[in-house]
Amino acid sequence: MSAGSLRLGRYVPEAMLGQGSATVTYRARSFEPLSSNAAQVFTLKVLRQEASDPDLEVRFVGAARVLQWSSLPGTAQVIEISENPGPVFAAFEFKEGVNLRQLRAQAVPTGGQMDARLVGLVGRKLAERLAPLHVQPDGPRQHGGLSPGNVLIQPAGDMVLLDCGLGEALRGESGWPSESWHFASPEQLRGDPASQASDLYALGALMHFLCYGRPPFAASSPEKLEARIAQGPPTLDGLHPSVASVITRLLSYAPKDRQKSASEVTRQISVALLTANAGVTFATPGPIAVAAVAHPSDGTLPVPGTHDLGQEVSRDTAATSMAAHADGGLGDGSDWQDGDAGEVRPFVFVPKGQGSEPHERVGISADDPDVGAVFDDDDEEDDIEVAADGTVKRRRRRRAIRLLEWTKSAFARKIFRYAWVPVAVVLAVAAVEGYFFAKSWRQVREQSRQKDEVLAAERARLEAVKPKLTDVSATPSGHLVLKVTPAGATVWLDGKEVGSTPSTILTTPGAHRLVVTAPGYRMLRDVIDTSKGILFEREMVPAIFPLTGSVGLNVACTTEGKYPVFIDGKEIGALCPIAGVRLDPGKHMVGVFVVPENRIWTLDREIVAERPHRVQFNY
């Protein structure tokens, strides 16, 4: 089926960009644009009808939805997803640029080895693109199918990742959707899902492809490729050792042996580039590309067609180009190393009839023409003179700079008379420029407002079709959810024992009295309102009471194992009845908190030494 005979929704395909076993990619034009400012050219990824099935369509649409709802950095935005009727496709914003296969073909037209520093520069840029993708706020993401065809370098040097997550979604029991398995990690080849470590392996494989023009391992099937990777890393001939060590670790068989993150890869490649740039020799023999050596570490990527990446020059020419950049772009320096041309001479006005020698005088009078002139510290200095009779005179010496005398000339008065002319011209020009600036600013503001209205309408449309999530209330009305530590504590509600923690208790909406008791801990008492449901989360405090006296005390109750015991007004962390409590001789107050009555029954008892005591509570 040709591109010209298709019409998919509002899009008309113009040219086929690529095809795989499951999808076909077109460059298409929209004949029903969303707005006057919207782009007219798009990228369509169409699911093949002969290769699709319901499960494959669901996975394809799901992966496209993730790209549509998530603003993943460095990826192409999904504009529209069409499911039914007709072919299933996703429309992406069109990105200009070249992929890595085209980049290598133009950088090394003879099929040789690419310069190691250019390989490191592209690899570092790709690692910088993967770093924010792997640490998304809503959970880590991964590309899952990096290959030379879906890494795009734009004319400005920016890098865009295409088909993010789509390759992993289209990979099913029938096999891989394209030839990207040559760059897949061994765990993916075994059938495991993609991970951040898988993207790092693909990064190393792409750097190997850029350098040598082929995947790191050759195999006829994914199964044989996985077995070949397990045998060890490939041989990296001709590469700088610092760059080769980074690629070798990226191509490790076990994910734990690779770098921990894309940010770590970025740092290692940066160090490798510094090491490679410090060397004298190039990594590859023969002619090299201009863009590969002109700016090896400025952070931008050379792009064929805009940086003449395919043009080759000799080593002498490249060295001359690098020397010119090292000198700040001034060439051989002959135009600024000459002393006459480069020397900056200050302007000194010498009054008529006087030489350049310093003018000396003893004092300064009000009639001195220099009064009112500004002198630097270097223009004034003390001169000490010793006379024949031994007296010492201090003389004030100034240099011959007269600024007031020339301002009294007819020429100066003429200049001052017409000084308003340039000021008026400047103000007129500023007024005209301000008028056109205000006009253009109003036009830009109107265009921005129209664009915002279109985007708001599109967001509203997308929000309308977005699946609605059921709003589940945290705790329904009348429900009391108890999460108390430790577990197994007894729960009393309005003076009645209703269970133990943790538990959910259904009550009548309103205020209730809550008591939680447990042996060894201080009880919890609170008044709660269950009108809107409540989640009661507490951690009980252990009861620490020193019971190290010499006299034994037994406490008995009508209800056993229910109510906390107090001695001298402090809770001891025990439930009545208790036996063998050790107290010091003297008067003590013994009490029991009766939960149903919400009160403490107390009894004062004189504890006498060498005689056990017993307290009985009847209520």
What is the arithmetic mean of pLDDT over 566-595? 89
Ranges 132-136, 310-314, 476-480, 483-487: which has the least confidence: 310-314
CA 553, 555, 556: angle at the middle one, nearest 5?
A: 145
Residue 471 pLDDT grade (very low, low, confident, very high; cuts 50, 70, 90): very low
The pLDDT, as a whole number, for residue 2 is 54
Closest C-alpha to 216, from 249, 241, 194, 175: 249
The average confidence (pLDDT) of the chain is 75
Decide if 538 contacts 518 (C-beta within 8 A): no
Ranges 132-146, 167-181, 427-441, 575-589: which has the least confidence: 167-181
Is the pLDDT confidence value at 158 over 80? yes
What is the arithmetic mean of pLDDT over 20-24? 78
CA 196, 201, 207: angle at the middle one, nearest 5?
A: 125
Is the pLDDT confidence value at 9 over 90? no
User: 115: which DSSP letter?
Assistant: P
Which domains can be identified in the chain, with CATH numbers?
A: 3-93 (3.30.200.20), 98-294 (1.10.510.10), 476-542 (2.60.40.1120), 544-619 (2.60.40.2200)
The pLDDT, as a whole number, for residue 155 is 85
Classified as helix, coil or strand, 214 is coil
Classified as helix, coil or strand, 408 is helix
pLDDT digits (tens, 9 = 90+) for 112-123: 888 888 899 999
What is the arithmetic mean of pLDDT over 578-582? 85
Residue 36 pLDDT grade (very low, low, confident, very high; cuts 50, 70, 90): low
Q: Is 0.75 topped by the overall pTM?
A: no
Instruction: For 449-510, give the secondary structure using H, E and C.
Output: HHHHHHHHHHHHHHHHHCCCCCCCCCCCCCEEEEEEECCCCEEEECCEEEEECCEEEECCCC
Ranges 186-195, 346-355, 512-521: which has the least confidence: 346-355
What is the arithmetic mean of pLDDT over 553-572? 88
Q: Is 392 exposed, middle or buried (0-12, 13-18, 19+ CB in 10 A)?
A: exposed
The pLDDT, as a whole number, for residue 272 is 87
Q: Which residue has the tokens 């439930």?
A: 575
Classified as helix, coil or strand, 41 is strand
Decide if 477 contacts 531 (C-beta within 8 A): yes
User: Identity (one letter) of the amino acid at 234?
Assistant: P
pLDDT digits (tens, 9 = 90+) for 231-244: 988 988 888 888 89
Q: Which residue has the tokens 């205020």?
A: 511
